[in-house]
Structure 1
Amino acid sequence: MKRATLAYIRAIDAMNYRIGRVAMYLLFVLIGVLLWSIFMRAMSYSFEGFIPAGWTIEIAKFLLVAYFIVGGPYSMQLGANVRMDLFYGGWSPKQKAWMDAITILFLAFYLGVVLNGAASSLAYALGAHYKLGAWEFFGMLIGSFFTGGFDAAAEHLGRFEATRTWKLPLWPIKLTIALGVILMLLQASSEFLKDLLRIRGEKI
């Protein structure tokens, strides 16, 4: 049982570590997009015919959200999240493990609520504007894909939700948010198992 638990912890930690390390570089992409926006705006002031790249601001928002949500599990793994250290710092490792195990259950509940909202928002972005629950919609979509391929799944998609100004599709960033919350839940389960092992005095 312990071997299976440790294997699960290592697998989740390794996955979120790699994803988190890749997500770190989104910050440099974000800087590049904003620099391009500044350059195009300066050119529009200097020369006629140059149009400011307004879409860059919307892309920058998407990148910032992706950087934040996908990097969350990596931050949790490193213990870089903010804590109220009024009493916590003076506790023993076992006391800290007890407190972390209890509070992570509240986090898991919160993430479950967020995931439900993210799934509903993603379903709407994919064109599920009819009265159908998000999970029913995705079940129908996945079932259609496995029985009839991409064409059958595409029949259930409606008009994609897009931004108001530059009409950029919103489903990629909403999908990223949903996947980020799932990764956060997986990391939370890994941290919970680590706390249980610490409570029992096991070495991780």
Structure 2
Amino acid sequence: MPGAVKAYVRYVEAVNRVVGRLAMYLIFVMIGILLYSSFSRTFYNVPIVWVMEMGQFLLAAYYLLGGAYAMQIDGHVRMDLLYGRLSPRKKAFTDTITAFFLIFYLVVLLMGGISSTDYALTYDQKNYTAWGPPLAPIKIIMTFGIFLMLLQAVAIFFRDLARVRGEELE
């Protein structure tokens, strides 16, 4: 594989490793917010209107920012009827073919995310709830997570292509 491809794979995987490991800690922030709400309601009888939405926003950030890292460590669920019986080289060949579908899907998702983020920024879009938070920050995070998954999908494609050719990328 050319040096530029190796550098791309190394850089993308390093970025996704850092972002994914940082995103893992969002679960603790979400637990803290939900516990705060529970104590507030139980002990002080004060309901907090922003807790559910904030929990949903944090969960979306958690799985979208961690998605590329999950792809990198092969942590996604895979439908395995015939795939598990294949040799590593044949698995890589199968993955190079299916990568085109994944990349196409992520490109379409990214285009929708960019459009939705642009709309939220242009019109100062807010959620229609009692709290009414602006939606631009979570849409920016979601679009960034989709972008990282797209970069990781291309890196995985190059890694599998090298494996098909009998090479291994570090």
Scaled to the shorter chain, the TM-score interval is: over 0.9
Residue 7 of structure 1 and its aligned partner are, at CA, apart by 1.2
Residue 9 (str. 1) matches residue 4 (str. 2):
no
- Offset from partner CA, 1:51-95 (integer Å, 9 cap, x none): 311111111110000001000000000001111111111111111
Deviations 1:79-130 (A, max 9, x none): 0111111111111111101110111110011111111111111111112xxx
Q: CA RMSD in A?
A: 1.1
User: Contact between 1:69 and 1:180, CA under 8 Å: does it hold in 2?
Assistant: yes
Residue of structure 2 in register with 1:166 after alignment: 131
Count of aligned pairs: 168
Identity value in percent = 49
Equivalent positions of 1:42-61 (< 5 A) are 42-45=42-45, 51-61=46-56
TM-score (norm 2): 0.95
**2:22: which partner in 1?**
22
Task: Find the counterpart in structure 1 of residue 114 from structure 2.
Answer: 119
1:187 alignment partner in structure 2: 152
The equivalences for 1:77-96 within 5 A come to 77-96=72-91
Task: Give 1 or 2 for the bigger CA radius of gyration.
Answer: 1
Partners of 1:37 and 1:57 within 8 A in 2: no
Comparing 65-74 with 164-173, greater Cα deviation is found at 164-173
- Mapped to 1, the partners of 2:156 and 2:77 lie a distance apart of 16
Runs of 4+ in 1 over 4 A off after TM superposition: none
1:173 maps to a residue whose letter is: I
Q: TM-score, normalised by structure 1?
A: 0.79
Please list every run of 5 or more consecutive structure 1 residues that lacks an aligned counterpart in the other structure: 46-50, 128-157
* Unaligned stretches of 5+ residues in structure 2: none
